[in-house]
């Protein structure tokens, strides 16, 4: 992409209503624009990151055996009256009337809808287990939308739902998602730790939040240091094997969100093993048994010929929240520092003297080759000053910068800068391309 043809509306001033760094940087870097409180337009740069995060989430859901589908954003209130959550959900639910005066709503989550769909098709235990998911916009009329996309009113969620015949089988589904989540967040360059959590309006009695540690985090987190330092199981893990030991290894170590925190147990840990921090909840998983299968009469015939209610769980990832969360975890004084896996472009090319024939030709050549090599470059071909170009590149945080100017051209070299470390290297254009493609 040539910057002169792109749409990258940067802000010079930090908007005063943005209190956390990720919100400030997303606005300044032209990633989002607020339309109403907690409702955002995803500008091209932000949208690209959102899509990359979404794709990683999708790949890891598929790897764990979940099946993608798509449910609507607008739901009938009848579903929620049937589960009893229509009144219970309160003012967070955006209630809508259609032209026939029927009660509709913009879905804050989809337990009811999928249980209803599922129960109208599935009859036998032979059809289980099943894990279905979609990645769809949700609406929650939050009392205090804030921190940009991290607590929006309209936000993108991946929500998966598991259906099993027995509690034991349901626990296996829970474990699959638990492991898939650890891998998912690690692929994004995040260290997300699973902490015991309260189930709130979703219900059930087994639940974990996945939190990344950050000063701006909304939830208090308490955890054993070894849990915080533990790596993810890895993408080669067999999801058909017994995952309980993998989950046990982590859940045996103390961890809790604020609402599940037990000060006495925590205090019993060795002092140097206690981590008390703030966290951003990027995922939340629930096992709630028959809470929704009961009101929707979602039963399957067992091997003994008797019908039984299906056992369910649901599993959420805040896809749009992650965009802010990753920036909270990865930035410096100059701007965003994207982990490569989610970067909007991999390489930024800076033309130090746009208008100079030799410089333009060298840049165009490098740009074309970078496109060919699949490096997804953003080429700053504008006539702005060098200093402006450098700070813009640093702000938007692409992992690599290639600086091409008249001085280097004399020796046949370009300068390659790593955004994260600031390390610079002079290389021939071909060597630079090889390095970046490697």
Selected range binding ligand P5A among 61-69, 179-187, 303-311, 314-322, rule: CB under 6 A: 314-322
Interface pick for ligand P5A out of 293, 314, 330, 351 (rule CB under 6 A): 314
| Smallest distance from ligand P5A to CB 313, Å | 9
Q: Is 157 in the site for ligand P5A (CB under 6 A)?
A: yes
For residues 49 and 157, which CB has a smaller minimum distance to ligand P5A in the complex? Answer: 157
Interface pick for ligand P5A out of 52, 134, 151, 224 (rule CB under 6 A): 151
Q: Is 23 in the site for ligand P5A (CB under 6 A)?
A: no
Interface pick for ligand P5A out of 46, 204, 316, 429 (rule CB under 6 A): 316
Interface pick for ligand P5A out of 85, 321, 346, 419 (rule CB under 6 A): 321
- E strand or H helix at 416, and its extent? strand 414-418
For residues 156 and 243, which CB has a smaller minimum distance to ligand P5A in the complex? Answer: 156
Q: For every residue of 76-111, which 3-state class applies, written as one string?
A: EHHHHHHHCHHHHCHHHCEEEECCCCCEEEECCCCH
| Smallest distance from ligand P5A to CB 319, Å | 8
**CA distances to 164, 287, 321 from 171, in Å:** 9, 8, 27
| Helical segments of 330-417, H only | 357-372, 386-396, 406-411
Give how many residues touch ligand P5A by CB under 6 A.
21
Q: Is 318 in the site for ligand P5A (CB under 6 A)?
A: yes
C-beta separation of 39 from 146 below 8 A: no
Interface pick for ligand P5A out of 40, 42, 155, 288 (rule CB under 6 A): 155
Selected range binding ligand P5A among 232-240, 310-318, 364-372, 421-429, rule: CB under 6 A: 310-318
Q: In sequence order, what are the residues at sequence separation of 6 or more whose Cβ sits closer than 8 angstroms to the Cβ of residue 330? A: 189, 336, 337, 338, 339
Q: Is 284 in the site for ligand P5A (CB under 6 A)?
A: yes
| Smallest distance from ligand P5A to CB 282, Å | 5
For residues 53 and 370, which CB has a smaller minimum distance to ligand P5A in the complex? Answer: 53
231-237 LR contacts (CB < 8 Å, sep 24+): 231/186, 232/182, 232/183, 232/185, 232/186, 233/179, 233/182, 233/183, 234/183, 235/63, 235/183, 235/187, 237/179, 237/183
For residues 61 and 314, which CB has a smaller minimum distance to ligand P5A in the complex? Answer: 314
C-beta separation of 388 from 401 below 8 A: no
Q: Is 75 in the site for ligand P5A (CB under 6 A)?
A: no
Preceding omega of 129 cis (within 30 degrees of 0): yes
Beta bridge partners of 281: 211
Selected range binding ligand P5A among 7-15, 18-26, 155-163, 252-260, rule: CB under 6 A: 155-163
Distance CA 382, CA 394 (A): 16
Q: Is 334 in the site for ligand P5A (CB under 6 A)?
A: no
Distance of alpha carbon 403 from its chain centroid, rounded?
Answer: 31
Measured at CB, which residue is nearest to ligand P5A? Answer: 318
Q: In sequence order, what are the residues at sequence separation of 6 or more whose Cβ sits closer than 8 angstroms to the Cβ of residue 208? A: 178, 194, 195, 196, 197, 251, 284, 285
For residues 80 and 125, which CB has a smaller minimum distance to ligand P5A in the complex? Answer: 80
Interface pick for ligand P5A out of 129, 283, 399, 408 (rule CB under 6 A): 283
Distance CA 221, CA 300 (A): 39
Interface pick for ligand P5A out of 152, 204, 405, 408 (rule CB under 6 A): 152
Distance CA 293, CA 310 (A): 6
C-beta separation of 323 from 54 below 8 A: no
For residues 60 and 111, which CB has a smaller minimum distance to ligand P5A in the complex? Answer: 111
Selected range binding ligand P5A among 46-54, 251-259, 313-321, 391-399, rule: CB under 6 A: 313-321
Q: Is 335 in the site for ligand P5A (CB under 6 A)?
A: no
Q: Is 140 in the site for ligand P5A (CB under 6 A)?
A: yes
Q: Is 61 in the site for ligand P5A (CB under 6 A)?
A: no
Backbone angles phi, psi at 121, to 5 degrees: -120, -35
Distance CA 254, CA 243 (A): 19
Backbone angles phi, psi at 130, to 5 degrees: -135, 140
Give the binding site for ligand P5A (CB under 6 A): 109, 111, 140, 142, 151-152, 155, 157, 159, 202, 281-284, 286, 314-316, 318, 320-321
């Amino acid at each position: 992409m040539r910057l002169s043809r792109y749409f990258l509306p940067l802000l010079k001033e930090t908007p005063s209503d943005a209190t956390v760094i990720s919100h400030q940087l997303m606005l300044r870097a032209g990633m989002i624009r607020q339309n109403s409180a907690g409702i955002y337009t995803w500008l091209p740069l932000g949208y690209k990151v959102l899509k990359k995060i979404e794709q990683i989430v999708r790949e890891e859901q598929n790897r764990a055996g979940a099946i993608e589908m798509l449910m609507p954003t607008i739901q009938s209130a009848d579903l929620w009256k049937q589960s009893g959550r229509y009144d219970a959900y309160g003012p967070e639910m955006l209630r809508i009337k259609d032209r026939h005066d029927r009660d509709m709503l913009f879905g804050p989550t989809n337990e009811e809808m999928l249980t209803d769909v599922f129960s109208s098709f599935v009859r036998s235990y032979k059809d289980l287990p099943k894990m279905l998911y979609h990645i769809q916009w949700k609406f929650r009329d939050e009392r205090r939308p804030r921190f940009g996309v991290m607590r929006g009113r309209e936000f993108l969620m991946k929500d998966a739902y598991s259906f099993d015949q027995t509690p034991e089988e349901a626990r296996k589904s829970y474990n699959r998602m638990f492991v898939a989540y650890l891998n998912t967040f690690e692929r994004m360059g995040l260290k997300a730790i699973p902490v015991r959590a309260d189930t709130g309006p979703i219900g059930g009695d087994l639940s974990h939040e996945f939190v990344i540690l950050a000063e701006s985090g909304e939830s208090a987190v308490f955890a054993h240091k070894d849990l915080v330092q533990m790596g993810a199981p890895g993408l080669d893990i067999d999801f058909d094997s017994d995952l309980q030991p993998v989950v046990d290894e982590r859940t045996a170590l103390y961890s809790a969100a604020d609402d599940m925190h037990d000060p006495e147990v925590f205090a019993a840990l060795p002092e140097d093993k206690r981590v008390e921090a703030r966290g951003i909840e990027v995922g939340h998983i629930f096992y709630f048994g028959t809470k929704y299968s009961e009101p929707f009469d979602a039963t399957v015939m067992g091997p003994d010929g008797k019908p039984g209610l299906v056992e369910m769980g649901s599993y959420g990832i805040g896809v749009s929240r992650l965009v802010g969360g990753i920036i909270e975890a990865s930035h410096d004084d100059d701007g965003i520092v994207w982990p490569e896996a989610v970067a909007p472009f991999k390489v930024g090319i800076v033309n130090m003297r746009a208008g100079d024939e030799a410089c333009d030709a060298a840049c165009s050549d490098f740009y074309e080759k970078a496109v060919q090599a699949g490096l997804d470059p953003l080429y700053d071909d504008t006539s702005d000053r060098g200093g402006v170009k450098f700070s813009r590149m640093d702000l938007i945080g692409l992992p690599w910068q290639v600086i091409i100017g008249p001085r280097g051209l004399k020796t046949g070299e370009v300068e390659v800068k790593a955004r994260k470390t600031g390390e610079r290297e002079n290389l021939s254009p071909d060597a630079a391309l090889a390095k970046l493609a490697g």
